[in-house]
Structure 1
Amino acid sequence: MKFTCDRQLLTEAVLNVQRAVSSKSSIPALQGILLKAKQNSIFLYGYDAEMLGMTTEIPADISEIGTVVLSARLFGDIVRRLPDASVHIAADDHNVTTIQSGQSHFSIVGIPAEEYPELPHVSSERSIRISSQVLKNMIRQTIFAVAESDAKPIHTGTLFEIGNGKIRLVSVDGYRLAIREEMVSSEEQDLSFVVPGKALQEVSKLLLETDEPCTIQVGSRHILFIIGSYTVIARLLEGEFLDYRAAIPQTSSTTITVKTSDFIDSVERVSLLITDRLKSPIRCLFDEDTVRLSSYTPIGRASDQFPAQLTGNSVEMGFNNHYLLDALRNAEGDQVKIELNGPLSPMKVLPMEGNSFLFLVLPVRLKASED
């Protein structure tokens, strides 16, 4: 295998693909990047053999076709520091690979490509196309609520529901729920699947780099995201996802309209006394035309307030400050509508108009000693 290519293009490709590479594996090849030189392109593959795979291609001047697997960490460190605008790479029959750029020369031992597992195949029978920017925003506004614990592995991913010209993403972790919905041009009906949060984080990073539409292909066990020159493949999660519709309160006794930035700033201020060691809920009193916030920890007390428009009953509730901030920071619009149904029912955060997003934040039961 022999080829010459642009160093910057190679560096970007290696740094992206190596995020899908297994950091620990009993198969040495899976800790590497598979390079394939054919025709006028170099194809790069990263795969952890469990959850995630990524491929891409870059243009190159191919002198000799071939394949080799190189250590992702070492190869990435080398190409990132090469001095010249171009790089020449050659691998011999024993997988010894030379990397040259300007006056720099490296010779490293590769792994036979035959030892690299084949990536899963996904048919293109069920596919949709969606704006990259829309999908990026939908992921950003729901991934914060994906469960980090694998007590219920299905909830470490985001539910996709496609049908009736809409795509809906749903994440839940037991303490909050996030829903984001958009119109989409698709003839698919009643299509639902759960994508691992880890895969969506990598998809989101790649979506930053392109304005082209993203194509999603769904198979029985795997999913493909085609983003520009990159393809991300992920294993779909299996199990029974929460019946999220049943978790959403259908009625409310209090509706509050607030300026989103006012609420965020106020929560951040009263959170200054709360740390990982000194945990305490934020007490929120929704009353007439004012929202009053307070916190209490062994190092002191804090209080703040901001104006709001309230319809219905006054209510006092407690919230985890991080969960409350996540919902507010991911809401779109200068103002949001908040619906409450008593101190122990979840808070609903909604747009002023429409139903493009819905966030639920479960309250924390307040103690009398916190008054």
Structure 2
Amino acid sequence: MKVICSKEHLIEGINIVQKAVSTKSTLPILEGILLEASSDFKLTGNDLEIGIECYVQADIQTQGSIVLNSKMFGDIVRRLPDSEVLIEVLPNSSVIIECENSHFELKGMPSDNYPALPSIKKENAFIIKQKTVRDMIRQTLFAVSIDENRPILTGSLLECKENNVTFVSIDGFRLALRKCIIENENKSFNVVIPGKTLNEIVKILQPIDEEISIYSTQNQILFDIGKCKVVSRLLEGEYLNYNSIIPKDFETKVRVKTKDILSSLERASLITAEEKKYPVKFNVMDEKIVISSNTEIGAVREEVRVDISGNRLDIGFNPKYFIEALKVIEDEEVDIYFTSSIGPCTIRPIGKQEYAYMILPVRIKNE
């Protein structure tokens, strides 16, 4: 194999596929990147749970393939001059990497034992704008559970029903839901994608209007992003019925500027280092919410001007859960719906039904 490509294109491809490379594996080959040159130059990373392949623009002089240690290969290329890079595989599986006055020789591994990415039939597909799916993942991923005792909740539900696509994440304390309408061929399926996979995909996706295709089978999903493809296993099991969790009724509604309440909660959380032990208290009263907390290291009190309809109430929350939701809402104002002083609350951008975020309260001691 002998190829020549720009350092810029090569490092972009390496950065993408490294997201799927195992850092600690009993199989050394899984710590490598597969380089293949045929009609195209392709890089692949695969840790058997998620696999990513990326096509890199290159001048292919001789076809072939090799596996190189991902960390070593990436570190070398990052430090090369900003110029053309020559990669040449020798008969003994050594690999020459040259760029201007730099010359490296690395030991490669034969590609025969590198695991192939699962083959996914392009059925059960839908097409969606890259920016849209990026936003949908970003606005729900933070609510994925990290509790391995409930494996199904360590992923996000992707549901496609008629013309609606929905992402849902639940961790037992909160729920994040984002839906959108797409032009679809009435496809109907629901799958649960590991949070780890979505965390890597959202780093690859760009905030642009180019379309991507998403295909699913019973146990695999494929994100086709043009020059890059991501394949992942799916989580097995039945996801929670999210429609039955979000409250339909409320006793108090608060309309508030997103930035105002976010800033107040971020300041209040400086005192509540241990959020579960020291929640913040919301005192919802006439035209304001008083956010307060008393801890062993001090106390905080913040006032936020709001529009209120309904009853006054006192309720406590883990401030982190509020902050993470408000950070991904781009609207200037939100409505917060409180069911009671001990029931869940729901945050929604004004007049928009495509996003909902529900949080369970924390019991607060009477001060």
- Look up the equivalent residue of 1:181 and give its one-letter code: K
The CA deviation at 1:210 is 5.3
Structure 1 distance, partners of 2:162, 2:319, is 37
Are 1:47 and 2:46 an aligned pair? Answer: yes
The CA deviation at 1:189 is 3.2
Match of 1:105 among 103, 106, 116: 103
Same amino acid, percent of matched pairs: 38
1:220-369 to structure 2, matched below 5 A, reads: 220-276=218-274, 279-368=277-366
Q: Secondary structure at the match of 1:57?
A: strand
Residues 1:6 and 1:177: Cα distance change in structure 2 (over 3 Å): same
Aligned to 1:155: 153
The CA deviation at 1:207 is 1.0
Contact in 2 for aligned 1:45/1:54 (Cα 8 Å): yes
Aligned to 1:13: 13
Structure 1 unaligned blocks of 5 or more: none
Aligned to 1:32: 32
1:130-145 to structure 2, matched below 5 A, reads: 130-145=128-143
The CA deviation at 1:164 is 2.4
Aligned to 1:74: 72
Contact in 2 for aligned 1:327/1:361 (Cα 8 Å): no
Deviations 1:173-217 (A, max 9, x none): 011100001111111433110111111111111112754211101
Structure 2 unaligned blocks of 5 or more: none
Structure 1 distance, partners of 2:15, 2:207, is 13
Aligned to 2:193: 195
Deviations 1:238-263 (A, max 9, x none): 11211111211121111111111111
After the TM superposition, list the runs of 4 or more consecutive aligned residues in structure 1 that deviate by more than 6 angstroms.
none
Structure 1 distance, partners of 2:357, 2:325, is 6
- Look up the equivalent residue of 2:91 and give its one-letter code: D
Contact in 2 for aligned 1:126/1:188 (Cα 8 Å): no
Contact in 2 for aligned 1:37/1:43 (Cα 8 Å): yes
Structure 2 distance, partners of 1:106, 1:217, is 40
Structure 2 distance, partners of 1:277, 1:338, is 21
Aligned to 1:60: 58
Structure 2 distance, partners of 1:338, 1:278, is 21
- Look up the equivalent residue of 2:258 and give its one-letter code: T
Deviations 1:282-305 (A, max 9, x none): 000111211111011111111011
Structure 2 distance, partners of 1:147, 1:132, is 25
Q: Secondary structure at the match of 1:144?
A: helix
Contact in 1 for aligned 2:275/2:319 (Cα 8 Å): no
Structure 2 distance, partners of 1:259, 1:22, is 43
Contact in 1 for aligned 2:282/2:316 (Cα 8 Å): yes
Which piece of structure 1 moves more, 311-320 or 237-246?
A: 237-246
Structure 2 distance, partners of 1:241, 1:363, is 23
The CA deviation at 1:266 is 1.3
TM-score relative to the length of structure 1: 0.96
Structure 2 distance, partners of 1:84, 1:304, is 51
Residues 1:101 and 1:72: Cα distance change in structure 2 (over 3 Å): same
TM-score relative to the length of structure 2: 0.97
Q: Secondary structure at the match of 2:148?
A: coil
Contact in 1 for aligned 2:126/2:187 (Cα 8 Å): no
Structure 1 distance, partners of 2:71, 2:18, is 8
Deviations 1:211-248 (A, max 9, x none): 42111011121111111311011101111211111211
Contact in 1 for aligned 2:288/2:305 (Cα 8 Å): yes
The CA deviation at 1:100 is 0.6
Structure 2 distance, partners of 1:188, 1:99, is 50
The CA deviation at 1:93 is 2.3
The CA deviation at 1:112 is 0.6
Structure 2 distance, partners of 1:359, 1:248, is 9
Structure 1 distance, partners of 2:65, 2:207, is 27
Report how many residues are paired: 367
Deviations 1:24-73 (A, max 9, x none): 1121111000000112x211000001x21000111222121101000000
Contact in 2 for aligned 1:199/1:234 (Cα 8 Å): yes
CA RMSD of aligned residues (A): 1.4
